[in-house]
Amino acid sequence: MKKIFFASLLMVMVLGATAQTKTLYDFKATTLDGQAFDLSSLKGKKVLVVNTASKCGLTPQYKTLQELYDKYKDRNFVIIGFPANNFAQQEPGTNTEIKEFCTKNYGVTFPMMSKISVKGDDIAPLYKWLTLKTLNGVVDAEVQWNFQKFMIDEQGKLVGFVSPKELPNSEKITNWIEGKKTN
């Protein structure tokens, strides 16, 4: 009986570890221009993954995201924007319209991906990984609204997230980028 218990426990541990072996680098995306974007190209960088929307009260965060990107892009840091229409239909545009809006209104130069779903039955695989502890090994983090920010380390592992209303240049995010310890 003990052998069966320990064999079952070992199997659960192995399966649990296997489920948590994926990293950001196992995913691919498509840019707003329709180009394939292999997220493994970001190896060695800290990555801030953000779901965005053009018609949201939080849309002005694009400006702060761009400022953050400009400040840290030469320090192995990148922001990846993922437009999503999951909240109150606040991203109704096409990929072309989204690109035009971001460029014209906020001068966005950080990589923007094509529109995806960040919750629900049609959730994109990347966001499924980001939001489920059973897959990311860190935390359950259902996307609450537009502009939720996920922090990924240089090995492609999720290290945490920041709520939509917390600004991209918050102390939590800047300390993480700069490698400072926080309480």
Q: What is the CA radius of gyration of the chain?
A: 18
**CB-CB neighbours of 22 under 10 Å:** 18
Element (H, E) at 118: none
pLDDT score of 21:
80
Asked whether residue 72 is assigned to any structural domain, the reply reads yes
| Active site (catalytic) residues | 56
What whole-number distance in Å separates Cα of residue 156 and Cα of residue 26? Answer: 9
pLDDT score of 1:
59
SS3 112: strand
Asked whether residue 54 is assigned to any structural domain, the reply reads yes
Asked whether residue 94 is assigned to any structural domain, the reply reads yes
SS3 161: strand
In this predicted structure, the answer to whether residue 182 has a pLDDT above a threshold of 60 is yes
In this predicted structure, the answer to whether residue 106 has a pLDDT above a threshold of 80 is yes
Tokens at 181, concatenated: 């310890």
Asked whether residue 183 is assigned to any structural domain, the reply reads no
Asked whether residue 60 is assigned to any structural domain, the reply reads yes
Domain CATH number, residue 64: 3.40.30.10
Return the ∠ at Cα 77 (arms to 17 and 16), rounded to 5°: 5
pLDDT digits (tens, 9 = 90+) for 38-94: 999 999 999 999 999 999 999 999 999 999 999 999 999 999 999 999 999 999 999
Asked whether residue 15 is assigned to any structural domain, the reply reads no
Asked whether residue 118 is assigned to any structural domain, the reply reads yes
Element (H, E) at 70: helix 61-72
Asked whether residue 148 is assigned to any structural domain, the reply reads yes
Q: In terms of Cα–Cα distance, which of 156, 56, 150 is closest to 106?
A: 56
Q: How distant, in Å, are the alpha carbons of 127, 129, 156, 179 from that of 117?
A: 8, 13, 21, 31
pTM: 0.88
Enclosing domain of residue 160: 23-178
DSSP-derived letter for residue 35 is -
pLDDT score of 18:
44
**Total residue length of the chain:** 183
pLDDT digits (tens, 9 = 90+) for 111-146: 999 999 999 999 999 999 999 999 999 999 999 999
Residue located via tokens 């400006």: 63
pLDDT score of 20:
57
What whole-number distance in Å separates Cα of residue 118 and Cα of residue 89? Answer: 13
pLDDT score of 9:
45
Taking residues 18-26, what's their average pLDDT? Answer: 79
* Structural domains in the chain (count): 1
In this predicted structure, the answer to whether residue 150 has a pLDDT above a threshold of 70 is yes
